[in-house]
Amino acid sequence: MKLLRTDSTNKDFIELVKHLDADLAIRDGDDHLFYDQFNKIDVIKHVVVAYDEANNPVGCGAIKQYETTSMEVKRMFVPINQRGKGIAVKVLRELELWAKELDNTKCILETGIKQPEAIALYKKSGYQITPNYGQYTGVENSVCFEKHLS
């Protein structure tokens, strides 16, 4: 597997995000428009796209500066037919490494209670549940996490 560091203009990232948004629209139902407003990709400078041996895009994720020393993990996605292969773990590790290289000490993120695969990934990857932050404060369907980068 190859991991490519790029930005949000990458055509494979844009295509993967379309599939992510379609999945989230189903899972989130009536709440989708609320979440969608915080997930625009036009200003994301730090994107990782995973490719298989045949150079097909099989996963993605991004980080966005949140505070001076913390990055927010965004747009994590692996298509259903590619899940269970460790792709998301590798993408997440690369994002954390990149965040550290950019002098950040923490990654934060939000996911939904209707995304049990994501919750399991983050717990397995050392993230701790925290009180909801920013625009997610008081949102019952959101679960927020953080991980201090060592």
Average pLDDT over residues 16-24: 88
pLDDT over 90 (residue 16): yes
Lowest average pLDDT, out of 23-32, 112-121, 139-148, goes to 23-32
Q: Which of 25, 62, 59 is nearest to 45 (CA)?
A: 62
> What are the angstrom distances between the C-alpha of 95 and each of 45, 104, 108, 122, 136?
12, 11, 12, 13, 22
pLDDT over 70 (residue 36): no
Q: pLDDT tens digits, residue range 65-103?
A: 999 999 999 999 999 999 999 999 999 999 999 999 999
Residue 76's pLDDT is what?
A: 96
In the structure encoding, which two tokens stand for residue 20, read together? 């992510």
pLDDT over 60 (residue 132): yes
Average pLDDT over residues 5-19: 95
